[in-house]
Amino acid sequence: MEPRWFTEMDDDHSQWYAEHFRQLASDGEDLEGEARLLDAIVPPGSTILDAGCGQGRTAGALFRRGHRVFALDIDPVLLAAARDDNPGPTYLRTDLAAMDLLRDFPGMEPFAAAVSAGNVLTFVAPGSEGTVLGNIYRQLADDAPYVTGFHVDRYRLADFDRDLAQAGFTLESRFATWDLRPWTQDAEFAVSILRKSI
């Protein structure tokens, strides 16, 4: 099955999305909240996986903070925008439901952390969420964090919690926003800090 990013959006959406974030950046909007959060919980100079990088705003911000970043996306339009607007990370086109960097790049070390911002898990192919979580889990070093956020009307938290546990993750913390406002049952968004179990 194709990712929802392609089946639920019109043909011009990717270009609109890239231009939208270019405009936000031009307007001086804060586009680095996700990167600040991850940067705060990993050692300096970490190797980080951005799973579903879009136009590269989080990957680029992490790179500018001194991290080595491998940024993955399935959309060639967004990857082209990422390379133009946020140079520095290693950008790769791949489907998160099929990716395995440690297999495809012999000698690559497991990642110190991973992040999926921008509702990534709600745009993968229907039914592949658990597979995607398992693939991300396998790329990580023991005890490494994975931080992800999405609208809970698109991916029920009960389903997410089941899928993350089946993948092997432990839920460490949950917030309602990327700036760590407390989680409540009526929150529309969930930011979860997961940990690869040892």
DSSP assignment of 103-162 equals HHSTTPPPBSEEEE-TTGGGSSPTT-HHHHHHHHHHHBPTT-EEEEEEETTTS-HHHHHH
Q: Poorest-confidence range of 7-16, 30-39, 76-85, 118-127? A: 7-16
- What is the predicted pLDDT for the residue at 72? 97
Per-residue pLDDT of 29-58, as tens digits, reads 887 989 999 999 999 999 999 999 999 999
pLDDT for the residue 3 = 64
Per-residue pLDDT, averaged over 90-94, amounts to 97
Average pLDDT score over residue span 101-122:
95
Q: What's the pLDDT score for residue 12?
A: 80
Which helix (H) or strand (E) element contains residue 92? strand 90-93
Entry pTM: 0.93
CA max distance for the chain: 45
With bands split at pLDDT 50, 70 and 90, how would you rate the model's confidence at 128?
very high
Q: Which CATH class is domain 4-178+188-196?
A: alpha beta
> What pLDDT score was predicted for residue 194?
98
Q: What is the pLDDT of residues 147-185, one digit of tens each?
A: 999 999 999 999 999 999 999 999 999 999 999 999 999
pLDDT band at residue 20, thresholds of 50, 70 and 90? confident
Confidence at residue 10, expressed as pLDDT on a 0 to 100 scale: 64
CB-count burial class (<10 Å; 0-12, 13-18, 19+) for 5: buried
Domain locations in the chain? 4-178+188-196
- pLDDT score at 11: 67
Q: Which amino acid is at 91?
A: Y
